[in-house]
Amino acid sequence: MRKINTVTVVGAGYMGGGIAQVLALNGFKVQIADVSIEATNDALVRLEKEAKEFEDQGLFGAGSAKTIMGNLTAGASLEDAVSDVDFVMEAVFEDPEVKKEVLERICASARADAIIGTNTSTIPVKVLVDAVTNPERFLTVHFSNPAPFIPGVELVAGEATTQEVIDSIKDLLVRAGCEGAQVADTPGMALNRLQYALLKEATLIVEQGVATKEDVDTIVRTTFGFRLGFFGPFAIADQAGLDVYVKGFRTLENEFGERMATPKLLTDNVDAGRHGTKNGKGWTGDFDDDTKAAVIAYRNKAYSRMGDLLRELGPAPKGS
């Protein structure tokens, strides 16, 4: 595994700038590059201002702004900024043609062994890889917005991407305080397929007059959304009971048909006697009595603390 120590982020807007902050805060030497030296310098000023504001607000620890600015610099040009770094992160507009043009420029000036990542939320590696020389070093490294505060990162390897490159990026993410999850090279990957599926169903509920937009948002944030900061959907289903979910799906399938059909993965587990934590056999693993008690205790503490946090912060501001 190659150790990454130097990084250039190409595209210093809100997304790219946030990625640069995360890496600089955690000890990486980072350059940013944008469409012009003027735009790059303006971005550096903005990032310093933001870092100080985050520190003043208690969102970054004391001394964080100084650390970031000690590790973050503006490249004189894209070509100069990528010429001798271990990892180049492309974070420009979500447009395949724009990304391809930028990736070609990066490859023309970067070291032949430099790892190259793209921050895209929906575009597959296979769509962009033709713009990259030495494609074994290319992959998607998808941060979420706002990058300084969202720890999860999707990783997508292409057909040519080597395991050494994947391992190097996973190591970078750990050192940056992030959590990486590797998914297949498909449009939307995992994050946005899940996110878009929820939004699609939410809009249908509003269009059908089942609930208002305001009430849908209230339901999501105060019920299952309340849990999602601590558990994913498989773990939540284990705690509720997989057999209970099968019965619920049957009701929905009878009303909505194939769109809400009972998942085979779910029925296969229930048919195999895996009902979740209540019988010690779930699809996230097996649970003895001590583990079940620990999960329940963690869950109750997590949800209680979440309630405390929301009461402390108060309601989110709303548009007029």
How many other CB atoms sit within 10 Å of the CB of residue 162? 15
Supply the pLDDT for residue 1: 82
Q: Are strands 29-33 and 285-286 parallel, antiparallel or unpaired?
A: unpaired
Domain boundaries, the chain: 6-183, 224-313
- Binding-site residues, in ranges, read 11-16, 34, 94, 99, 121, 145, 278
Binding-site residue positions for NAD(+): 11-16, 34, 94, 99, 121, 145, 278
Q: Which residues of the chain have pLDDT under 70?
A: none
Whole-Å CA distances, 42 to 35, 46, 49, 77 = 11, 6, 11, 14
Q: Taking the mean position of all CA atoms in its chain, how far away is CA 220?
A: 19
Distance CA 103, CA 158 (A): 15
| pLDDT at 201 (0 to 100) | 96
pLDDT digit string, tens, across residues 75-102: 999 999 999 999 999 999 999 999 999 9
Question: What is the C-alpha separation between 62 and 129, in angstroms, rounded?
Answer: 41
**What's the CATH code, domain 6-183?**
3.40.50.720
The CATH homologous superfamily to which domain 224-313 belongs is N-(1-d-carboxylethyl)-l-norvaline Dehydrogenase; domain 2 (1.10.1040.10)
pTM: 0.92
**pLDDT at site 148:** 95
Look at residue 320 in the predicted model and tell me its pLDDT: 81
Q: Closest Cα partner for 85 from 116, 53, 61, 108? A: 116
